Every structure is written in C-alpha cells, then in structure tokens.
Amino acid sequence: MTHPRLIRRAALACGAVATALAVDFVTKWLILNVVMAPPRTIEIAPFFNLTLGFNTGVSFGMFREFFLDRPLVLAGIKMVIVAGLLVWAMRTERRTETVSLGLVAGGAVGNVLDRMRQGAVTDFLDFHVGNWHWPAFNMADTMITIGVVLLIAGSFWRPRSMARAQKQPSRPEH
C-alpha cells in the first residue's frame, strides 16, 4: 500500500475508533451522572428498559468469577486484540472493512477504559420479552456489533477495483 493511502486508511480507522469512543463515553457518562441518579429501571417500551448494571466478565458475563479480581488481565487481552484489529484495518484495501474494524476496536477500547476505571463495564440497555431479558449491554457493545455486521456484509461486496477490472473487455491475443 502506498504511503498516502496508508495515511488515509489510518485516518479512517482512527475516525471510526474516535466515533465509537465518543458515543460510548457520552452515553455512559449520561447514564451514570444524569439518567440513573439514583439508579432505577426506566421503561422505555414494552420490550426495552434502561437499567444500570456492571459486568465484570466478558460477553454476557462469562468468566465473571475469574476476572472479578483480575480486571486488568482482561483489559490487557482486549488491548492486544485491538492492536491486531487496527493493524488489519490499516492493511485492508476496503474502506468498509477499515471502518468496520475501527468501530470494533473503538467499542473494545471503550469497555477496556471502563474496566480500568471501575473494574467493570457499565451496561444499561435492557431488551426483554416478558420476563426473559437479554443480557444488558452498552453503546460500546453496539458499536462492536455494528462493526461486525458491516464486516460480514462487506465480505459479500466486491471491491470497486475488482468490479472495474471485470467490466473491461478482454483483448484477444494475436
């Protein structure tokens, strides 16, 4: 990849990371300092509440017991993964892939910062059907999910350079 192109990819990835971090930071700050002061459950719709929770585990609270006293171990593991995602984001030729990976990395960093500050991740989005509740999550998790969905969807689209190459008629050899 050429130098200017690498800089554009880095800027695009960093922009996605910054967007994910900003959305996550602002929503968590609002929940902790405005909306959930005092903590309570707020019914938004028959299937959706705002409910304050703190996750000391990984996805859906898995391995909670192991990481409860070791929040920095999980933070370290996630930061290694984030570094790998950012390297991938800068090496890819596809802008959608760069943005997708930046959103995933930004969401992961948002949760890592929570874990480092308070030993747990702040969760507040509670979707449910009757008494069955999906594990609560936050906007960092939402950014990760959007990034993964875009990454998967983007894998089905051909890059423009490939599409252009296939449209050009081939020259017969003499």
Domain presence at residue 174: no
Domain presence at residue 169: no
Q: Provide the domain limits for residue 17.
A: 3-156
24, 114, 126, 141: the catalytic one is 141
- For the four alpha carbons of 4, 10, 13 and 17, in that order, the dihedral sign comes to negative
Q: List the chain pLDDT tens, one digit each, 174 residues.
A: 568 888 899 999 999 999 999 999 999 999 999 999 999 999 999 999 999 999 887 776 677 777 777 767 778 888 999 999 999 999 998 999 999 999 999 999 999 999 888 888 999 999 999 999 999 999 999 999 999 999 999 989 876 655 565 566 555 555
Structurally, how many domains does the chain consist of?
1
The b-or-e profile of 82-112 (16+ CB within 10 A means b, else e) is beebbebbbebebeebbbbbbbbbbbbbbbb
Q: Is residue 24 annotated as a catalytic residue, yes or no?
A: no
DSSP 137: B
Domain presence at residue 161: no
Q: Is residue 114 annotated as a catalytic residue, yes or no?
A: no
Domain presence at residue 164: no
24, 114, 123, 126: the catalytic one is 123
